[in-house]
Amino acid sequence: MTNKNHTAVTEFVFTGFPHFQEGGLLFFILLVLIYLFIIIGNLMVFFAVKLDSRLHTPMYFFISVLSFLEIWYTTTTIPKMLSNLVSEHRTISPAGCLLQMYFFHSLGITEVCLLTTMAMDRYLAICNPLRYPTIMTSQLYTQLTLGCCFCGFFTPFPEIAWISTLSFCGPNQIRNIFCDFDPILNLACMDTGTIVLIKVVDVVHAMEIITAVMLVALAYVRIIAVILCIHSADGRQKAFSTCASHLSIFLIFFGSVALMYLRFSAKYSFFWNTAISLNFAVLSPFFNPVIYSLRNKEIQEAIKKHMCQLTLFIHHIK
């Protein structure tokens, strides 16, 4: 029920941005460069995999899908951040806030499912190499990817629909750099039953994250045990190299997610809230093309090959 002492909120105000005259321009330039790198870097990885027939394998298919997701994942938040850095009116409508939350979490959950699927793929490839080609067919990894997308886009929908029914009667200041569940729920006019429901939702989120982490951890415990039994040093190095990039991305992404969503009653300062939010909204997608392009010779070679072809094509046109 709306509090009679307050008027209904018609817009939310972000408070996590410096003024343009107080360093906002520097942050704007830095964020623009990071965003451009994320878009260009992930597009290069995506098209390198799609255009090079040597990379048409399940592992690289999942990498290309991850790169595609990272582009949209960052696009749900960074453009609005850039606008807020140079604007005096750092506002967003309730409907816009709900849409940002929905797409940010649906794409994030899809990534969680995909990273877990990638761990299972590496488990099959290393622990059951003889049967791997017959198990991980193109039909299966396409179905797994579609399953990840379905899970990602369906899971946050009931929660977003429920939040849309809540009343917001002031204050309207979001203590974050984008719309997220906790900052928005803190602004809602809530009774005791609603508060209990929020605690239940927090537990469900925690169980989802812990389940994904446990599945990946169990897969890699088994993978490492099998790799250590390989007699050839070259064989061990090759097996480790195929897993190192995925494990690095997994640790960066889940580390920041765990800090944000597994804190329960712990309270962070506004500075640390902002730093953690930036980590999984900006830095994790930033490292994806860095890790997969710098650590992976096949992707490096594919990018160089197609860049040379593009250069020759442009030169020929001129």
From first to last of the 318 residues of the chain, give the pLDDT tens digit: 444 455 577 889 888 776 655 667 788 899 999 999 999 989 988 988 888 888 899 989 999 999 999 999 999 999 999 988 888 788 899 999 999 999 999 999 999 899 899 989 988 988 888 899 999 999 999 999 999 999 999 988 888 988 888 888 778 888 888 898 888 888 888 765 666 777 777 777 778 778 888 888 888 888 888 888 877 777 777 777 777 777 888 888 877 777 777 665 556 666 777 777 788 788 888 888 888 766 677 887 887 777 776 666 566 665
249: Cα within 13 Å, side-chain hemisphere:
26
Global pTM value: 0.87
Structural domains in the chain plus CATH codes: 12-317 (1.20.1070.10)
* pLDDT tens-place string over residues 25-81: 788 899 999 999 999 989 988 988 888 888 899 989 999 999 999 999 999 999 999
Contacts of 49 (CB under 8 A, 6+ apart): 55, 56, 60, 61, 63, 64, 67, 299, 302
Residue-averaged pLDDT of the chain: 82
Q: What is the DSSP letter of 308?
A: H
Check: CB of residue 154 under 8 Å from CB of residue 109: no
What distance in Å separates the CA atoms of residue 70 and residue 73, rounded to the nearest whole number? Answer: 5
Going from the C-alpha of 79 to that of each of 73, 132, 211, the distances in angstroms are 11, 41, 32
Check: CB of residue 194 under 8 Å from CB of residue 166: yes
* pLDDT tens-place string over residues 98-118: 999 999 999 999 998 998 999
Q: What is the DSSP secondary-structure string of 281-303?
A: IIIHHHHHHHHHHHS-HHHHHHH
Number of helical (H) and strand (E) elements in the chain, helices listed first: 13, 3
Question: Rounded to 5 degrees, what are φ and ψ at 136?
Answer: -90, 75
What distance in Å separates the CA atoms of residue 316 and residue 318, rounded to the nearest whole number? Answer: 5
What distance in Å separates the CA atoms of residue 244 and residue 248, rounded to the nearest whole number? Answer: 6
Check: CB of residue 141 under 8 Å from CB of residue 114: no
